[in-house]
Amino acid sequence: MIVDCYTHFWDSPSQLGPASARGGRLFTGHRPDGGAAPLNNAGPDRHVQAGKPVDLTIVVGFVSAHLEAKIPNERVAEHVNRHSERLIGFAGVDPSRPQEALDELSRAQNDLGLAGIAVAPAAQNFHPSDSRAMRVYAKAVEFGMPVLFHPGIWVGPEVRLDYARPFLLDEVAREFPEMRMLLAHMGLPWMDETIFLLAKHEHVYAEISGLLRHPWQAYQSLLSAHEQGVMDKLLFGSGFPFSTASECIDTLFSINQLCQGTNLPMVPRDQLRAILHRDALAALRLRSPATVAGA
């Protein structure tokens, strides 16, 4: 089974807040091939179409009081329920508004049927181990919900890069060793920090979307993950709408073309294949939609 562990959709770029108009290349998802940024082509129909090469897709909500951005969790749940055999939803919560975040987390599980939560410290203007956030993580652990951490750097110049560093999650992982944590984009651009975090903590994982839009960085990072023995902690993701699952699968299996005709080492192909077919549901302690439907 192939699980795409990181995608978004939105009905309008305006849901991403005023920063969407000022974010430049970082926000717009600049593509190495010069293709246009897909901010206006990220609707639910295209989201489903782009997910056809995989078996299951995680769709991630997003909310930020700091950026005045909100993709409503009700909308995420509606989209997931319409395609319940193929989609798993994560609610966007903003720990900078702790009571709202706790209420939303409870509603996500009890009313909306969403399976995890997503936070973006840099885009939500909070330190990852802020006491407000720690209360949110504790509730997620109580509910058995995995937490996805988004670096947040793609949402424009207003983000706080000092809150995006993966090493800041070490304290969180130490405080909540049982919590399933997923780092988006392998912590781009701090992939080395992510690799050592993966090696240190049993239940910390990373997905590779975003990274695959930068083949040379992807090659170096995957080779480092192989050399450090943490390839088993990497999960597949496409990062829709900035890439599609088909594009990312092609890039993943062509990574070693960069070193052909050189003395550079190759990333073992069987390990690349393992990323694509890894049991992400077991890693993140998620139930498959088919299991939930039959319950």
pLDDT score of 22: 59
State the pLDDT confidence band at 16, using cuts at 50, 70 and 90.
confident
Stretch among 3-12, 113-122, 265-274, 282-291 having the lowest mean pLDDT: 282-291
Question: What's the token pair of residue 16?
Answer: 């991403």
State the pLDDT confidence band at 227, using cuts at 50, 70 and 90.
very high
What gap in Å lies between CA 102 and CA 107, rounded to an integer?
9
Number of H helices and E strands in the chain, helices first, is: 13, 10
Question: What's the token pair of residue 267?
Answer: 């990333």
CATH numeric code, 3-294: 3.20.20.140
Question: What's the token pair of residue 35?
Answer: 């293709």
Reading across the β-sheet that carries 116-119, which strands appear in turn? 3-7, 56-60, 87-92, 116-119, 147-149, 181-183, 204-207, 234-235
Q: Are 158 and 189 in contact (CB under 8 A)?
A: no
Q: Does residue 155 have a pLDDT over 90?
A: no
What gap in Å lies between CA 76 and CA 85, rounded to an integer?
15
Residues 108-136 have pLDDT tens digits of 999 999 999 999 999 999 999 999 999 99
- Phi and psi, residue 148, nearest 5°: -95, 130
Per residue in 141-169, is it b (16+ CB within 10 Å) or e — as a string?
A: beeebbbbbbbbbbbbebbbeebbbbebb
What gap in Å lies between CA 265 and CA 259, rounded to an integer?
7
Q: Does residue 19 have a pLDDT over 80?
A: no
DSSP 3-state of 234: strand
**Annotated domain spans of the chain:** 3-294
Task: Look over the chain and give the mean of its residue pLDDT values, rounded to a whole number.
Answer: 91
Rounded average pLDDT over 155-173: 92
Q: Are 88 and 57 in contact (CB under 8 A)?
A: yes
Closest to 60 measured CA to CA, from 162, 151, 194: 151
DSSP 3-state of 8: coil
What gap in Å lies between CA 71 and CA 8, rounded to an integer?
9
State the pLDDT confidence band at 246, using cuts at 50, 70 and 90.
very high
pTM of the model: 0.93
pLDDT score of 158: 87
Question: What are the angstrom distances between the C-alpha of 85 and each of 14, 112, 276, 289, 291?
Answer: 29, 16, 19, 5, 10
Closest to 112 measured CA to CA, from 59, 153, 148: 59
Rounded average pLDDT over 20-42: 54
What gap in Å lies between CA 95 and CA 65, rounded to an integer?
10
